[in-house]
Amino acid sequence: MPRILLIDDDAQLGPPLAAYFQRFDLTLEQALRPSAGLARLAQGGFDAAILDVMLPEMDGFELCRTIRRNSDIPLIMLTARGEVMDRVVGLELGADDYVPKPFEPRELVARVQTVLRRRTVTAPAAAKLEFDGLTVDPATRSVMRLGQPLELTGTEFDLLHLLAREPGKVFSRDDILNHLRGHEAELFTRAVDIVVSRLRKKLEPLDAIKTLRNAGYSLALGRAQPAAEPKTP
Per-residue pLDDT of the chain (233 residues; tens, 9 = 90+): 999 999 999 999 999 999 999 999 999 999 999 999 999 999 999 999 999 999 999 999 999 989 988 888 999 999 875 566 666 777 777 888 888 888 899 999 999 998 888 776 544 446 889 999 999 998 888 999 999 999 888 888 889 999 999 999 999 988 887 777 643 344 556 778 888 998 999 999 999 999 998 889 999 998 876 554 555 55
Decide if 145 contacts 160 (C-beta within 8 A). no
213: CATH: 1.10.10.10
Check whether residue 145 and residue 176 sit in a common domain. yes
The answer to whether residues 106 and 141 belong to one domain is no
Asked whether residue 95 falls in the same domain as residue 10, the answer is yes
State the pTM of this model: 0.64
Q: Are residues 44 and 103 in the same domain?
A: yes
- Inside any domain, residue 97: yes
Q: Domain boundary residue among 120, 150, 181?
A: 120
The boundaries of the domain holding residue 70 are 3-120
Domain check: are 114 and 137 in the same one? Answer: no
Residue 94 is part of a domain; what is its CATH number? Answer: 3.40.50.2300
